[in-house]
Amino acid sequence: MTQQDIAVRANIENWQERVDLAAAFRWTERLDMHEGVANHFSLAVNDAGTRFLMNPNQMHFSRIRASDLIELDVNDPAALEGPNAPDPTAWGLHGGLHRHCPHARCAMHVHSIFATVLACLKDPRLPPIDQNCATFFNRYVVDDSYGGLAFEDEGARCASLLSDPKKNVLIMGNHGVMVIGQTVAETFNRLYYFERAAETYVRALQTGLPLNVLSDDIAEKTAQELETYPEQDVRHLAELKAILDEEGSNYAQ
């Protein structure tokens, strides 16, 4: 790390949170779960959840560094006027979420392939056909009222669907997926496993064979066990950051 890097780090608040979020951007791109220069992640940095970090407008996930993240305030009417301010849909969706759902500390919205395929089905529910799918049993909401681009009104409508803290995934019909959590590690881990679960389900449908769906009792038991599994999310993100560090990535600058 250069002296300039050290000086930058010393003068930016919430540095570790920025590093974690930058790593999540980099790995999401590596998994091809991004979409061009669209999609956004955000992380609340005050107790009320009204101030949050977000990626700059239309910056590719593979290039985002900790110091690139912008800080926004949902109560600031001039939030979209600053340098690299997010596009209106990012503000509408994430601003609405942090304004109306303070329990959603971190939010990750993507149009990843399998989650989006699931969201495009007439019945976009995710049945518990394996352990990953069971993770989300009774823990997601389906939005079947897509209303176009997520400007402020649409963003507020989507946020209202996540008012129950027990529901941490929004399957956005005809759109994609929004995942929420308390930390970057928790939210990214959840995003990763939701995409894997959606892939398993979509590929199972492609066989045309009958599905072996777990009982509600076993699905709920499995979901509870995974919720309390020790440190999986923290270890997951730590390993990804270790890989990036070994490769000489500049994500933490």
pLDDT tens-place string over residues 154-166:
888 999 999 999 9
**What pLDDT sits at residue 106?**
98
pLDDT tens-place string over residues 50-84:
999 999 999 999 999 999 999 999 999 888 887 88
Give residues with Cβ within 8 angstroms of 117, minimum separation 6.
198, 202
The predicted model gives 3-21 an average pLDDT of 74
**What pLDDT sits at residue 11?**
56
Question: Cβ-count burial of 166 within 10 angstroms (0-12 exposed, 13-18 middle, 19+ buried)?
Answer: exposed
Give residues with Cβ within 8 angstroms of 167, minimum separation 6.
139, 140, 141, 161
The predicted model gives 182-207 an average pLDDT of 98
Domain boundaries, the chain: 13-246
**What pLDDT sits at residue 72?**
95
Tell me yes or no: is domain 13-246 CATH 3.40.225.10.
yes
pLDDT-derived band at 216, boundaries 50, 70, 90: very high
d(CA 247, CA 253): 14
* Tokens 């990626």, residue located: 55
Nearest to 97 by CA among 150, 46, 166: 150
d(CA 222, CA 132): 9
The predicted model gives 221-250 an average pLDDT of 96
Residue of higher predicted confidence among 44 and 9: 44
Q: Locate the DSSP E strands across the chain.
A: 40-44, 51-54, 70-73, 106-110, 140-143, 169-172, 176-181
Could you tell me the maximum CA-CA distance found in the chain, to the nearest angstrom?
61
**What pLDDT sits at residue 218?**
98
Mean pLDDT of the chain: 93
d(CA 104, CA 98): 7
